[in-house]
């Protein structure tokens, strides 16, 4: 063990669930409802499916290492230049690549309490010091995060909306924050759930990258675009940052299927709109359930709702499992009284509600 740095030795592995088929076999239940990983409940879009089938013939060849067509499509959609884009095997991969490129063991990295698990993970793996700033109303306390900056700070992670709390910072709050961060500190705006935010409230974050060379915006195809299993994400930065990341990047960090699927998904507006509509309806369904039973919940801008269920959240998680519903315990995020429920299709949300009503 001494061969690994102290940060790595102190890590615990990402808590992934068992394959759903295994859970079904163990419990002797068919048709388990999984509302645990903030996935898109619609399944793959037909247009993407068709494009994937057409891509199969070329799979004996290496993928396009530069992702030429996907970058061109992202550039067109988001009004940036291709040399500002970095692609990855999910946004996790690009977040890690960013940290590997810019952070080393003499640095500090700031994130919020209840922040997405990958931030402390990549920070610690590099031997850097993670500074978890106490949350305010479950969300980012931006003033406290500014106050935590020291000469050693190299990076600040902000997830907006945040996972697992679903909290949201307004454009005004974010703009004021970014303007106050010193230029030698990278602000990483992780917008994995961006598409679920009502259009009128979305920050023009990618446009801000032109103004703030230390601002980095990451997005994913795993949520509203429905490609979680394919692994596709991207980051928009100043071209100089993209150039440095490109030197560190593994050449084939996206595969031919994920490249093509992401390209097609960006044009599949009907699927995207339906994803958001299904999410809005499902969110209303779960919120109505919470209100009916006076269960406190954290108002969410994502595709999940984090509900305060009390001191025996772990026991409730197990009971829900017995009823064939998998949700996500969030004790590891310092939320031991909560469970996070991903928004599913109407009947899946209802299965959760029915199980809860049977248990409570
Ligand atoms: N950021 C946040 C805040 C997330 O919740 C997730 C997914 N759980 C990701 C990034 C990474 O998603 P992916 O690697 O699938 O793009």
Closest CA to 30 of 357, 351, 287: 351
For the CA of 162, the closest atom of ligand 1 is 3
Q: 264 CA to middle of ligand 1, Å?
A: 20
What is the per-residue pLDDT for 224? 98
Would you say the CB of residue 166 lies under 6 angstroms from ligand 1? no
- Asked if residue 14 has pLDDT above 80, the reply is no
Would you say the CB of residue 222 lies under 6 angstroms from ligand 1? yes
Contacts of 274 (CB under 8 A, 6+ apart): 42
Please state, in angstroms and rounded to a whole number, the distance separating the CA atoms of residues 223 and 225.
Answer: 5
Q: 220 CA to middle of ligand 1, Å?
A: 7
pTM for the full predicted model:
0.96
Peptide bond into 30 cis (omega under 30): no
pLDDT tens string 290-310? 999 999 999 999 999 999 999
3-class DSSP state of 40:
coil
Would you say the CB of residue 234 lies under 6 angstroms from ligand 1? no
Closest CA to 117 of 336, 334, 340, 341: 334
ipTM of this complex: 0.99
pLDDT tier at 18, thresholds 50, 70, 90: confident
Please compute the mean of the pLDDT values over residues 204-225 and round it to a whole number: 98
**Beta strands, E only, the chain:** 33-34, 85-88, 108-112, 129-133, 153-159, 186-190, 215-220, 233-236, 297-298, 304-308, 325-326, 328-329, 338-342
What is the per-residue pLDDT for 162? 98
Q: State how far the alpha carbon of 295 is from the alpha carbons of 38, 103, 298, 303, 310, in Å.
A: 21, 41, 10, 19, 9
pLDDT tier at 119, thresholds 50, 70, 90: very high
- Asked if residue 67 has pLDDT above 80, the reply is yes
What is the per-residue pLDDT for 233? 98
Tokens standing for residue 29: 């239940």
Would you say the CB of residue 348 lies under 6 angstroms from ligand 1? no
Would you say the CB of residue 228 lies under 6 angstroms from ligand 1? yes
Share of the chain above pLDDT 90, in %: 91
Q: 234 CA to middle of ligand 1, Å?
A: 11
pLDDT tens string 221-239? 999 999 999 999 999 999 9
Please compute the mean of the pLDDT values over residues 153-180 and round it to a whole number: 98
Please state, in angstroms and rounded to a whole number, the distance separating the CA atoms of residues 152 and 129.
Answer: 9
Please compute the mean of the pLDDT values over residues 168-197 and round it to a whole number: 98
pLDDT tens string 30-63? 889 999 999 999 999 999 999 999 999 999 999 9
For the CA of 38, the closest atom of ligand 1 is 8
Point out the least confidently predicted range of 25-34, 157-166, 340-349. Answer: 25-34
Would you say the CB of residue 163 lies under 6 angstroms from ligand 1? yes
Q: Considering only CA atoms, which residue is closest to atom 6 of ligand 1?
A: 192
Please compute the mean of the pLDDT values over residues 13-26 and round it to a whole number: 82
Give residue 138's region: left, alpha or beta (phi > 0; psi -120 to 50): left
Residues in the chain: 360
- For all residues of the chain together, what is the average pLDDT? 96
What is the per-residue pLDDT for 185? 98
Would you say the CB of residue 92 lies under 6 angstroms from ligand 1? yes
Q: What domains are there in the chain, each with its CATH number?
A: 6-43+270-359 (3.90.1150.10), 48-268 (3.40.640.10)
């Amino acid at each position: 063990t001494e061969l690994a740095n102290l940060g790595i030795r102190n890590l615990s592995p990402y808590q992934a669930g068992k394959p759903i088929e295994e859970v079904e076999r163990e419990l002797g239940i068919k048709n388990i409802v999984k509302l645990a990983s903030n996935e898109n409940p619609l399944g793959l879009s037909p247009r993407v499916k068709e494009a994937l089938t057409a891509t199969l013939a070329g799979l004996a060849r290496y993928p396009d290492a530069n992702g030429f067509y996907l970058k061109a499509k992202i550039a067109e959609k988001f009004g940036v230049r291709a040399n500002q884009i970095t692609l990855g095997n999910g946004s996790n991969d690009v977040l890690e690549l960013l940290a590997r490129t810019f952070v080393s063991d003499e640095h500090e990295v700031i994130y919020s309490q209840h922040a997405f698990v990958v931030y402390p993970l990549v920070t610690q793996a590099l031997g850097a010091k993670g500074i978890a700033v106490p949350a305010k109303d479950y969300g980012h306390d931006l003033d406290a995060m500014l106050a935590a900056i020291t000469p050693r700070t190299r990076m600040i992670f902000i997830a907006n909306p945040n996972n697992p709390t679903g909290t949201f910072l307004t454009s005004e709050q974010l703009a004021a924050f970014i303007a106050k961060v010193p230029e030698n500190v990278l602000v990483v705006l992780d917008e994995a759930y961006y598409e679920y935010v009502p259009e009128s409230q979305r920050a023009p974050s990618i446009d801000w990258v032109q103004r703030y060379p230390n601002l980095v915006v990451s997005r994913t195809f795993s949520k509203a675009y429905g490609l979680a299993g394919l692994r596709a994400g991207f980051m928009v930065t100043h071209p100089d940052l993209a150039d440095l990341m490109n030197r560190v990047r593994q050449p084939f960090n996206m595969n031919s299927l994920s490249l093509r699927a992401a390209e097609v998904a960006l044009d599949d507006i009907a699927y995207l709109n339906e994803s958001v509509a299904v999410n809005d309806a499902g969110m209303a369904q779960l919120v109505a359930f919470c209100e009916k039973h006076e269960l406190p919940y954290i108002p969410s801008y994502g595709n999940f709702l984090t509900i305060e269920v009390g001191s025996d959240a772990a026991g409730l998680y197990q009971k829900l499992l017995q009823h064939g519903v998998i949700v996500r315990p969030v004790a590891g995020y310092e939320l031991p009284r909560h469970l996070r429920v991903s928004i599913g299709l109407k009947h899946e949300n209802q299965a959760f509600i029915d199980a809860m009503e049977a248990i409570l």
